[in-house]
Amino acid sequence: MDKELTLKIRISEAGAERYLENPRFTIQSLAKKLNIDTTEIFELFPNRSEILNFYYPSRILVYKEQTRMIDNYPDYSLSEKLSLLILTLFDLFQDHREFVLSTYNKRVLCSMSTHSFETQFKNEIKQIFHSDSNISSASSLVINRAFYYSIYQTFNGFYYFWSRDTSSHYENTSALIDKWASFIQEVFYTKIADKGLDLGKFLFYHSPLNQFTKS
Amino acid sequence: MTNFPTTKYERGKIFAKTGLKVGKNYASHFLKSWIKGENDRSALYKKSAEDLFGEFTKLRGTALKIAQSFSIDQGFLPDEFSEVMTQAQYKVPPINRSLVRSIIKRELGGYPEQLFASFNPEAEAAASIGQVHKATLKDGTVVAVKVQYPGVRDTISSDIALARSLFRTIVSKSEPIEPYINEVKETLLRETDYLQEGQSIDRFHKRFNSKTIFTPQWIPDLSTERVLTMTYLEGMHLNEFLQNDPGQDIRNQIGQNLWDFFHNQIQDRDEIHADTHPGNFLFDGNGNVGVIDYGCVKSFPESFFMDYLRLLPTHLKQDEDEIKELYFKLEILKGDPEKNPKEKLFFDFCKNYGFTFAMPYLEDTFDFGDPEYKKLIAGYTKNAPFTNEPRGNKHFIYTTRVHLGLYHLLMKLGCRVDTSYSKTIIDEMLFD
């Protein structure tokens, strides 16, 4: 991660903390907190709102940086990769839980345009599914933009669950994510649909319907 | 890699499925033996044990504890069952690597790659409550990091509730089962507190770490209630050790160390490592014994414990009046055996079993490798008089587990043990 990006992430995290102290904090007070010059912040962000907005896509960047440090990450199964992404995001959200609880709905879910967090989240999901060679051919037919969106909506469902989770260390949220990821893996790794398609193709080629379409 | 069922519905469903699978195995076996006239039960036992183990590994927690008990209590079940169930001690499918990473972050405040110089995401061993990962600290110390499965505490409560209702249907309504159930529940729940386990590791390390017994050292800075870090012990588990066909001398040496370790524990009248199953002991090839897993460490009330120990010399003396008196104190007998045939049945069984159990304390050496002795012990377990009422003080659950577990380890090792030192310890405790 380059220096500029690291600074941007630092600013957004400090902004999240400052927001809880005073939602209308000034850039000057943030610069003071970070012990940097105000101009350095303005070179990276036009205003306070952008700093707070960047907090969410920056979680994906931190997650990506972390996966680079995990040995054998490419060997992870689909469920492990999915749960790694979602669990890491919630681990990171946990560090600024109060900020996330008071801004996620307004800034991400109810954003007027597609929030960059949504875009980057869907890109990660796309990456995970496209790099997995164990996914059955038939299942891969349903992997498209609508599918990525549905996973993103599932993530929002997890967010809702996490925000109300009273179990120790949010154990129930982890368990839910683990169960969901295992289920998705079962669905996408199963070869039943492949075999079904194969059988269907065979029957079609040897059916009167095929003779009719040929003629 | 599997996810972990935590709800009552999921767990109840798996219990039911297991019953159906085992029932199906028996039905098909009886059908085959009826049609073909074959009656080889070993394949049936192995298949049923594998099905049982497969489903229990999904449940982990209490169910796997039961599986572990099956592997200790040889004699009660066919050998094929015990062999398969031995896997329950360390060969359970581990949980998702990402989940392990997240648990460590939440518990220790950092990801494994940040906290350790190296961390193996593949579990070294996985058992009923948690799984163990090998890691290296930044100062180069090799450690074992034990990570608890999420939600395991809740599953213990729900499984115990399930077991309670099951026992209620079996056990006579007038008999109190609560003390037994509560004892098991409290012990299991205590096992889920890794900070308590860490403190036990500390105490056992100070008491017993020596040339012949090696124990881990607790690392409190990297431990919480759900993650436990301790120094890593190298060694082989019993089955692996026996596969190398070790000589009689080394078997005897190991057996002696185990026997002395057990008696040194009781000598202190303090606390006892109460989980004597093969998965909790490591052998280094030089006759030394590593003791791991301090989740189930028990202290018994002094009066019960002394009476329990008194059973050994009393059975050897075969003085029926003294035996009877002890049995009443230990709640084994509920009525006069001379007047009540059911009590007489219990009395005769326990008196003979007790004598056999005390036999190692008769002479100065005892050969646990003697196949006749193994048969004798197994025979008692198989022919125990089962009734619908619980017998004996609730503390028997764990003293028997420790003592019988030790005997089974020694019998599996096939070792000869010098018992003179242990007899001195017991004599000093009882008569000084």
- A80 → closest Cβ in B96, B106, B226: B96
Confidence at B50, pLDDT banded by 50, 70, 90: low
The larger pLDDT score, comparing residue B299 to residue B104, is at B104
What is the least distance, in Å, from the CA of B151 to any CA of chain A? Answer: 7
Query: Per CB distance under 8 Å, which residues of A are interface residues toward B?
Result: 66, 69-72, 76-77, 79-81, 83-84, 87-88, 90-91, 94, 167, 169-172, 174-175, 178-179, 181-182
**Nearest CB to B6 within list A72, A77, A175:** A175
How far is the C-alpha of B360 from the C-alpha of B417, rounded, in Å? Answer: 9
**Superfamily (CATH) of domain A55-214:** Tetracycline Repressor, domain 2 (1.10.357.10)
Query: A63, A69, A79, A85: best mutation site toward chain B, by most B Cβ within 10 Å?
Result: A79
Distance to chain B for A88, nearest Cα, Å: 7
Residue B52, pLDDT score:
62
Nearest to B113 among A69, A77, A182 (CB): A69
Residue percentage of chain A with pLDDT more than 70: 99
- Candidates B96, B106, B121; nearest CB to A178: B96
**Neighbour-count burial for A22-61, b at 16+ CB within 10 Å, e otherwise:** eeebebeebbeebeeeeeebeebbeebeebbbbbbbbbbb
How far is it, in rounded angstroms, from Cα A30 to Cα A21?
Answer: 11
Ranges A74-88, A175-189, A198-212, B349-363: which has the least confidence: A198-212
Residue A94: its chain B contacts at CB < 8 A? 106
Q: Give the residues across from B77 on adjacent strands.
A: B74
CATH code for the part of the protein at B93-126+129-157+188-232: 3.30.200.20
Read off the pLDDT band of A37 (50, 70, 90).
very high
Mean pLDDT of the B195-204 span: 95
As a whole number of angstroms, the distance between CA B130 and CA B144 comes to: 12
| Nearest chain B CA: its distance from A171 CA (Å) | 6
Mean predicted confidence (pLDDT) in B172-190: 77
Q: Can you give the pLDDT at residue B345?
A: 85
φ, ψ of residue A161 to 5 degrees: the values are: -65, -45
Contact list in B for residue A184 (CB cut-off 8 A) is none
Q: How far is CA B171 from the centre of its chain?
A: 24
Q: pLDDT tens digit string along A104-147?
A: 999 999 988 899 999 999 999 999 999 999 998 888 888 999 99
Q: Which residues of B touch A128 (CB under 8 A)?
A: none
Top mean-pLDDT range of A5-19, B380-394, B398-412? A5-19
Domain positions in chain B are: 8-89, 93-126+129-157+188-232, 158-187, 235-432
Question: What is the end-to-end Cα distance of chain A in Å, rounded?
Answer: 62
Sign (positive or negative) of CA dihedral B235, B197, B68, B392: positive
